[in-house]
Amino acid sequence: MTDMSLAAASTPATAATGRARLLILLGVLYFTQGLPMGLSMEALPVLMRQNGVPLEMIALVPLAGLPWILKLFWAPMVDNRWGPRLGRRRSWIIPMQAVLALTLSVTAFLPLSGPNIWIAVLMLAVGAIASATQDTATDGLAAEQLTGSGLAYANALQIGGMMAGFMVGGGGTLLMADPLGQMGTFLVLALFPAATVLIALAWREPPRVKSAPGDTPARLISTFRRQGIWTLLILAFIYGGAHAGGLSVSKIFLVDLGWSNSGTGTISTISGLVMLILGCPLGSYLTIASRWRAMSIGMLLAATAFLFWGLIAGGMLAASWVNVVLAISLLSIASGIIAVSAATILMAFGAGGNQAGTDITVLQSANVLGEMVIAGLVVWIAGQSGYAMTFGGAAAALLIVAFGVSRMSRRAATA
């Protein structure tokens, strides 16, 4: 690691204070990163449809998530180019947050219909690119400045913060839309990244130690040459599948059972809150003790949740509110544990090199791609084999993955 870490601070008190301030900054940064995702996935399609926008146009809105897959191609630039006055990571975090605040402010004054809809979609895309780019810098900052339990805390903030931001950008936006109107709603949303700019300006990034003669600029090819990268790419691709696949197919299952939109939406909200309040903190606690053991526990708990869903789908348990809430809560707690432990493993891997932002971004891109593929695949399998077989198969697959995780721990460079 080429940067001065918080662990190297002069006194324990100074280190503790510096870590606390950094964790606050990371928490608000991860929160704002979830806002554009919630907007594009949940709120904006609803608002556009209310304004009479054709479904063909609305179908393009979720493509705003593409920068989170493609950002690996410009991640080396984020690692390599920065100004000494702001610091390696703040040089990107501050302007990207400003861009996000600006795009949300501009969207506040754009009618979500007619010819202006293209400008609104463009603003959303620019905001998503800025948010994804900032994520590279934010992850690099956490990997370079934190060690040990600090990484576990940071990744609990990452998963929980982005979930909270997603909920505010999605359901929160819809709740604000009627009383505040479009202008008021988007201006309120813009306040979050604007405030984060001020917090980032108030925090002083430790100076980067002068590079050693053998250091090379960040490059994508260097990531793929690192020991253990292919094992972690597989892990990154599959670890989000339990949550993404489980949430997508379970909601469709409830719809097919005749549940109302409000009922299904309530279950989705409960899922997010349980993951935020229980899953992420528990994941942090278990990860501090053992990252790989925490992931195995999460996988086993997810397998239990899918087995519970299979019993409901097979008619052996009633599809009552109590049973459904229990099933989705088990899955959400498991997802929080898996996400925090896996993100900590990936971040520790990034911290082991001199291009943390690029290395972590490559792994995160694999994760987002895996979530998209697995979510679609699980729904397709449900259509072919039925819900009971799908949930049962998912439980069996997670048991196999849990066994594989224990083997990965012996080979991965971050074990």
pLDDT of 409 reads 59
Judge whether 215 lies within some domain.
no
CB atoms within 10 A of CB 180: 14
Judge whether 1 lies within some domain.
no
Same domain, 128 and 76: yes
Contact 28, 196 (CB under 8 A): yes
Same domain, 16 and 109: yes
Instruction: Decide if pLDDT at 66 tops 50.
Output: yes
Contact 302, 335 (CB under 8 A): yes
Judge whether 208 lies within some domain.
no
Judge whether 253 lies within some domain.
yes
> What's the chain's average pLDDT?
86
* Domain termination residue (choose one: 202, 237, 254): 202
Same domain, 165 and 274: no
pLDDT of 212 reads 43
Global pTM reads 0.83
Number of domains in the chain: 2
Mean pLDDT of 253-281: 85
Instruction: Decide if pLDDT at 316 tops 90.
Output: yes
Please report, for the domain that includes residue 124, its CATH number: 1.20.1250.20
pLDDT of 376 reads 81
* Domain termination residue (choose one: 153, 170, 202): 202
Same domain, 186 and 244: no
Same domain, 191 and 245: no
Same domain, 194 and 100: yes
pLDDT of 99 reads 97
Q: Both tokens of residue 350?
A: 């990034």
Same domain, 117 and 227: no
Which range marks the domain in which residue 108 is found? 6-202
Same domain, 45 and 157: yes
Report the range of poorest mean pLDDT among 55-59, 125-129, 201-205, 306-310: 55-59
Judge whether 311 lies within some domain.
yes
Same domain, 385 and 246: yes
Same domain, 197 and 321: no
Which of 93-102, 111-120, 121-130, 268-277 has maximum average pLDDT? Answer: 93-102
* Predicted confidence band of residue 1 (pLDDT cuts 50, 70, 90): very low
DSSP string, 214-268: T-----HHHHHTSTTHHHHHHHHHHHTHHHHHHHHHHHHHHHHTT--HHHHHHHH
Judge whether 46 lies within some domain.
yes
- For residue range 173-188, what is the model confidence (pLDDT) as tens digits? 888 888 898 899 999 9
Same domain, 98 and 20: yes
* Among the listed residues 111, 133, 124, 107, the one whose alpha carbon sits nearest the alpha carbon of residue 37: 124
Which residues are bridge partners to 87 per DSSP? 83
- For residue range 351-407, what is the model confidence (pLDDT) as tens digits? 888 899 999 999 989 988 888 888 888 888 888 889 999 999 999 999 988 887 766
* Domain termination residue (choose one: 175, 202, 229): 202
pLDDT of 271 reads 87
Same domain, 195 and 229: no
What's at 40, amino acid-wise? S
Judge whether 332 lies within some domain.
yes
Judge whether 246 lies within some domain.
yes
